[in-house]
Structure 1
Amino acid sequence: MGDRVSLRDWRPRTPPLPDHLQAVVKPDDPEWFARELAIAAAPPWWFWRFMLRRFSWLVSIFGRVEVSGSIPEELRRGPLLLAANHIGDFDPFVVAVALHKLGLVPRIMATGGILAAPVAGALLERTGGIRVERGTEVARHAVRVTEVALVHGGHVIAYPEGRVGLAPDFWPERGRTGLARLALGVGVPVLPVSQWGAHEVLQYGNDWGKLRTVLRAVVRRPTFKVHVGPPVYLEDLRGGKVGDAHRARMRIAAAITRGLVPLRAGELHAPRFVDPTRPTSGAAAFPGGVVPDDIP
């Protein structure tokens, strides 16, 4: 009885931590850090591959998935940072399914609260989910885990905005420089992922309205559009050089915005779906989706 594991503490078997990463873990690190490093260094979990291959259709219960763009074979074999606009709580599932259709096995960066949830959080972590504890002293651990995942050839979905975008017209915010600094530091390709429609499944507010929007989506089945563009040009920028992280951030935001314009046909000025629980306190990097030609 004393050895029984509660449902809250249960988690799948973790792969062993490679010898070369043993020294990275310090005694005062969070208990999950070594676990996430081991998962990041391991090949994608067989169960995650199985779920993507056999159960991606579950997303289609809530809407139609349309994927455009392509990823060259040589990029699919190596590490990738996939920079996506964040429009709602449901879009990680849509983006993961879309990227799997294009030949990737994505690892998703997620907030610590989601990964701390019983069962579902443990499963997400085991699939390669990377815990982001924003605004805390352990936030740097996400960077280290992501670096390990990329060094081992991972395909990491990251959200430059760092949250669900709150611009009044739903265009991507400029975001933070974290993803840009990571890309410049590790030297991996960044593919812009523009997506639209997933915001209709789960409203922003955490109340019973989420159930209402879920049921509405099942009935109306909105279209989930995902477009993957060509790699963002960053070859002239360097990690550590003053101003280059900002330039990289703006180029990434510009690429996501450009890819989003055709997906939002008929909704360029405002989304058809109105979510009264969603704040409008943010500012778009390129209001109205208009991206100047002279982005530095």
Structure 2
Amino acid sequence: MSQHTSEKTPIFRFLAVLLLPFMHLVARYRIHDGDRMPKTGAFVLSPNHYSEIDPVVIGVVMWKLGRMPRYLAKASLFKYPVLGALLRASGQIPVERAGAMRGNDPLVAARKIVDDGLAVVIYPEGSLTRDPDMWPMRGKAGAVRMALEADIPLIPIAHWGTQLVMPRYGKRISLFPRKTIHVKVGDPVDLSAFRGKPLDGQALVTATALVMDAVTALLEELRGEKAPAQRWDPSKNNQKETGRF
């Protein structure tokens, strides 16, 4: 994509008309260090995840910063006629929630987006955090795998306040009073030790831990408190994980 070509294509402008008025009604957005998000070129954006409305919030933030999001989205969402059409038109990538993909690996589909110089949002936790206090839990390898295989930056980002708009596991949006959502963009995670080397299981685990450390540090700044020394691990707390990556 040309350096001077806006990513705000007609489909994203249409989505903005649909979503932005409502999202601005329910919340104001305070973006910290937004200049750290690359203005051009491909990158992976890795946010924390604790509310079903998180992807919309991140989409609003990216719109404000001039970049358009492409998500690895639940394949079931594509089955709804209108929603599915909008997801496909805006370049979102369907991901099956359980078992192997019947078609291509979704990261292969994401690679096409990366080749076009666009941004891919990959939640490193794979699903809503199970941590009781909504700190980031153990991560999965999808984000670092994408960044390393495509040799692109991985940008951590954290937000806090979204839970006031829609609680974790909640289905209803709180309209009033208007909430404030704080968002902080981080510097690219230093993955230089892993680039150009075989991506075995241990390398991916170690690199993913660096990403989770970066996201957690940003969230600590927003919350003004320290995260637990031990990151929540669903497999050790008798909780089933639903995310594929």
Q: TM-score, normalised by structure 1?
A: 0.68
Q: Which residue does 1:255 correspond to in 2?
A: 214
Q: Which runs of 5+ in 1 are unaligned?
A: 1-42, 271-281, 285-296
SS of equivalent residue, structure 1 residue 64: strand
Q: 1:166 to 1:112 in 2, by over 3 A?
A: same
Residue 81, structure 1, aligned to residue 81, structure 2: no
Q: 1:66 to 1:237 in 2, by over 3 A?
A: same
SS of equivalent residue, structure 1 residue 218: coil
Shift of 1:116: 2.1
Q: Which residue does 1:246 correspond to in 2?
A: 205
Q: Which residue does 2:145 correspond to in 1?
A: 181
Shift of 1:128: 1.7
Q: How many residues are paired up?
A: 222
Residue 108, structure 1, aligned to residue 41, structure 2: no
The equivalent position to 1:230 in structure 2, one of 184, 187, 191, is 187
Q: How does 1:84-163 map to 2 (within 5 A)?
A: 84-138=47-101, 140-163=104-127
Q: Which amino acid aligns with 2:208?
A: R
Q: How far does the alpha carbon of each residue in 1:111-159 deviate from its partner, in whole angstroms, 9 at most, with x for none?
A: 1122222312321222121111133221753111111111111111110
Q: Which runs of 5+ in 2 are unaligned?
A: 1-6, 235-245
Q: 1:123 to 1:131 in 2, by over 3 A?
A: same
Conserved in 1, the CA contact under 8 Å of 2:49 and 2:125?
yes
Conserved in 2, the CA contact under 8 Å of 1:169 and 1:269?
no
Q: 1:200 to 1:124 in 2, by over 3 A?
A: farther
Conserved in 1, the CA contact under 8 Å of 2:144 and 2:208?
yes
Q: How far does the alpha carbon of each residue in 1:248-289 deviate from its partner, in whole angstroms, 9 at most, with x for none?
A: 101110110111112113x7679xxxxxxxxxxx538xxxxx
Structure of larger gyration radius? 1
SS of equivalent residue, structure 2 residue 80: coil
Shift of 1:221: 2.0
SS of equivalent residue, structure 2 residue 157: strand
Conserved in 1, the CA contact under 8 Å of 2:50 and 2:168?
no
SS of equivalent residue, structure 1 residue 261: helix
Whole-angstrom distance in 1 between the partners of 2:9 and 2:78: 17
Conserved in 2, the CA contact under 8 Å of 1:193 and 1:227?
yes
Q: Which residue does 2:176 correspond to in 1?
A: 219
Whole-angstrom distance in 2 between the partners of 1:128 and 1:179: 18
SS of equivalent residue, structure 2 residue 138: coil
The equivalent position to 2:233 in structure 1, one of 280, 283, 289, is 283
Whole-angstrom distance in 1 between the partners of 2:46 and 2:227: 23
Shift of 1:76: 2.1
Whole-angstrom distance in 2 between the partners of 1:218 and 1:54: 17
SS of equivalent residue, structure 2 residue 86: helix
Q: TM-score, normalised by structure 2?
A: 0.81
The equivalent position to 2:29 in structure 1, one of 62, 65, 70, is 65
Q: Which residue does 1:170 correspond to in 2?
A: 134
Q: Which amino acid aligns with 2:43?
A: L
Conserved in 2, the CA contact under 8 Å of 1:197 and 1:222?
yes
Mean Cα displacement is larger for which, 240-249 or 162-171? 240-249
Q: Percent identical across equivalent pairs?
A: 30
Conserved in 2, the CA contact under 8 Å of 1:45 and 1:126?
no
Conserved in 1, the CA contact under 8 Å of 2:36 and 2:186?
no
Conserved in 2, the CA contact under 8 Å of 1:87 and 1:196?
no
Q: How far does the alpha carbon of each residue in 1:8-54 deviate from its partner, in whole angstroms, 9 at most, with x for none?
A: xxxxxxxxxxxxxxxxxxxxxxxxxxxxxxxxxxx764221353378
Q: CA RMSD in A?
A: 2.5
Q: How far does the alpha carbon of each residue in 1:178-220 deviate from its partner, in whole angstroms, 9 at most, with x for none?
A: 2211211111100001011112333444xxx623xx2xx2112
Whole-angstrom distance in 2 between the partners of 1:84 and 1:122: 25
SS of equivalent residue, structure 2 residue 155: strand
Shift of 1:228: 0.9
Shift of 1:105: 1.3
Q: Which amino acid aligns with 1:106?
A: P
